[in-house]
């Protein structure tokens, strides 16, 4: 059962909350705060932990190979005090994506660097270049090729993407699939999204992911996009999303949830409203969001669909003093 604090305002600070049952990430972030680190240090440390552990195969190296079999990474951090953001996407051959995102924030006047250029930037900043493939990611890719590249993200192309691999060319006559995104696999999308709130209400948020398995090379989802994958504002709170990024990023759910909290909504209500906005257009989408406000209140919400009726997330605050798994029923 969900503790009352998920439903109520809550007053315990500092606070760390992250998506999914990524317990070691929550503990790493909490430990950073306990040692006097900033909220930015905490979310970077927490997401880095998931990158090292390859959380659920969907964060960090060696997971979610794209159509070429390569693993690429997306990450972002946001400082809710200054509204600075650092982000990278389609980052190749560098394992610590969230660290590179922080380097973008602290060593450039830019917000977002992508692709091969992001790798060159990372190398210049002292990050090591190494192969992100593993035996597991190579096996996933080989099996996919043997299954005629099923599933994939192509539409309105020939040859028929439901039966064969590319290269694909555009098809003149467009068609609408009967059930868009109907066979989406939740296990291919478990971004870590994390929010940390300091004892004086400072807010930071971060994300890290290796994106959708079998994505078209160059695809960027919601995770590294400020307002979509995560958002932080020390005058209101923070939010982070996980799920089908191609759909979710169209609605900026993290920005929406933080804005709703700014206008007085409790975290759980803000989370539900952000999910409801997407449901109106995509009733079957796979997704969830966590929200926390500057008084230590927190909540989560998820869209109910076959195989996904509850969303787990981790919370640490002075009341728990260790990472605690909580769950919310999807609606």
- Residues annotated as catalytic are 191
b or e along 235-248 (b: 16 or more beta carbons within 10 Å of the residue's beta carbon)? ebbbbbbbbbbbbb
The binding site comprises 219-222, 242-245
Q: Which DSSP string do the residues of 77-114 spell out, in sequence order?
A: EEETTTTEEEEEEEE-S-S-HHHHHHHHHHH-S-SEEE
Residue 124: how many CA atoms within 13 Å on its side-chain side? 10
Please list, in sequence order, all residues whose beta carbon lies within 8 angstroms of the beta carbon of residue 75, skipping any fewer than 6 positions away.
47, 87, 88, 91, 97, 98, 100, 101, 206, 207, 208, 209, 223, 224
Number of CB atoms found within 10 A of residue 156's CB = 14
The SS3 assignment for 75 reads: strand
Q: Tell me phi and psi for residue 316, to 5 degrees.
A: -135, 130
The binding site for substrate comprises 219-222, 242-245
d(CA 52, CA 281): 36
d(CA 188, CA 181): 13
- Name the residue among 93, 80, 120, 92 with its Cα closest to residue 104: 120
- Name the residue among 44, 65, 63, 66 with its Cα closest to residue 54: 63
């Amino acid at each position: 059962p969900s503790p009352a604090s998920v439903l109520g305002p809550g007053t315990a600070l500092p606070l760390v909350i992250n998506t999914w049952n990524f317990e070691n990430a929550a503990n790493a972030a909490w430990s950073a705060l306990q040692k006097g680190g900033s909220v930015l240090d905490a979310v970077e440390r927490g997401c880095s932990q998931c990158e090292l552990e390859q959380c659920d195969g969907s964060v960090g190296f060696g997971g979610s190979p794209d159509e070429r079999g390569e693993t690429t990474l997306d990450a972002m951090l946001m400082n809710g005090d200054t509204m600075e953001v650092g982000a990278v996407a389609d980052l190749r051959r560098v394992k610590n994506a969230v660290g590179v995102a922080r380097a973008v924030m602290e060593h450039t006047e830019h917000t977002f660097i992508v692709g091969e250029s992001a790798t060159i930037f990372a190398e210049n900043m002292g990050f090591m270049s190494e192969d992100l493939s593993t035996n597991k990611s190579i096996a996933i890719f080989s099996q996919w090729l043997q299954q005629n590249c099923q599933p994939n993200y192509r539409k309105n192309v020939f040859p028929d993407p439901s039966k064969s691999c590319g290269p694909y060319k555009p098809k003149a006559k467009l068609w609408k699939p009967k059930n868009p995104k109907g066979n989406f696999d939740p296990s291919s999308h478990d971004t870590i999204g994390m929010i940390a709130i300091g004892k004086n209400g400072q807010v930071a948020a971060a994300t890290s992911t290796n994106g959708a398995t079998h994505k078209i090379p160059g695809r960027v989802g919601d995770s590294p996009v400020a307002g979509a994958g995560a958002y932080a504002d020390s005058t209101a709170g923070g939010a982070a999303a996980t799920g089908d990024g191609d759909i979710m990023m169209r609605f900026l759910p993290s920005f929406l949830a933080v804005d709703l909290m700014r206008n007085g909504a409790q975290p759980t209500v803000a989370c539900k409203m952000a999910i409801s906005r997407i449901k109106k257009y995509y009733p079957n989408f796979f997704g969830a969001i966590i929200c926390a406000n500057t008084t230590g209140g927190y909540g989560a919400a998820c869209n109910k669909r076959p195989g996904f009726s509850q969303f787990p997330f981790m919370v640490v605050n002075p009341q728990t003093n260790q990472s605690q798994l909580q769950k919310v029923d999807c609606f």
